[in-house]
Amino acid sequence: MHITQLNRECLLHLFSFLDKNSRKCLAKTCHKLLEVFQDPFLWSLLNFHSPVELKKDNFLLGPALKYLSICWYSERVKVCNIEDWMKNSFQKDFCNRHENTVTDFLLEVCNRCPNLLSLTLSGCGHVTDDCILLLLKNCPNLRTLKLENCVRITDQTLEAVTLYGSSLQTLHVDFCRNITQTGLERVREKCPSVTLRAERSANMIPDNMPGKKLMLEKASRKLVQL
């Protein structure tokens, strides 16, 4: 029996075992397999291992997407996660090349994937609070949000969780150095049913120049004295 003689359900099941590139290659062989590739139900789960993969035309983004993971484990992540004020010109130029790649992709998710249930971001150093806020607003069924080593995430994301994360059950903000203990305590207070984890976050050094941080501390002391 030729593969194209199988019914659609069988073909969908076979495609589910293939990675994105293999699915795309197989879809190029005939119209029937292309139709299977374009079936939204084949794309309920997407895993990416670098920002480059987000630009490939080997997947379908739509309302059927339920589980999304973008995990970038690379030496290049360390460059992007250096505090902005400590980066040299070469490092800044490197980061600017892909600064908006993940953010632009997540904005597409906001527009196309309202039924998203789980989002995991690791090593995505350019993702901002505004992006996560839009996701929480546009994906009201989101139950799991895991952020790891996302250095631009601050307490604004935690505040957005308290306002728009009504369906959220699990929140991880590990190695997010601009998260504070105050923000975490607010989530625990406002969302007691959420399983919260913040490994190596609130105790890390935030993205402030030492001089600026010292000035803020002095200003705080003056206010207390007054």
Copy the structure tokens of residue 76: 């290049």
Which of 55-64, 157-166, 189-198, 205-214 has the weakest average pLDDT? 205-214
pLDDT of residue 126: 84
User: For residue 122, what are the β-bridge partners?
Assistant: 71, 148
pTM for this model (two decimals): 0.81
Angle at 64 (CA atoms; ends 58, 68), nearest 5 degrees: 65
Domain 44-224, CATH among 3.80.10, 3.40.1350, 3.10.350, 3.40.50? 3.80.10
**Cα–Cα separations (whole angstroms), residue 198 to 69, 106, 145, 148:** 19, 23, 12, 9
Residue ranges of domains in the chain: 1-42, 44-224
State the Cα–Cα distance between residues 40 and 62, nearest whole angstrom.
Answer: 7
Burial 26-41 (b: 16+ CB within 10 A, else e): bbeeeeebeebbeeee
Q: Which long-range contacts (CB under 8 A, 24 or more apart) does 80-87 make?
A: 80/123, 80/125, 80/126, 80/151, 81/123, 81/125, 81/149, 81/151, 83/207, 84/207, 85/207, 85/209
pLDDT of residue 223: 43
Residues, the chain: 226
Q: pLDDT-based confidence at 98, cuts 50/70/90?
A: low
Predicted confidence (pLDDT) per residue in 63-91, tens digit: 999 999 999 875 555 556 656 655 667 55
Closest CA to 204 of 103, 92, 81: 81
pLDDT of residue 1: 66
Q: Quick check: 119 and 91 in contact, CB under 8 A?
A: no
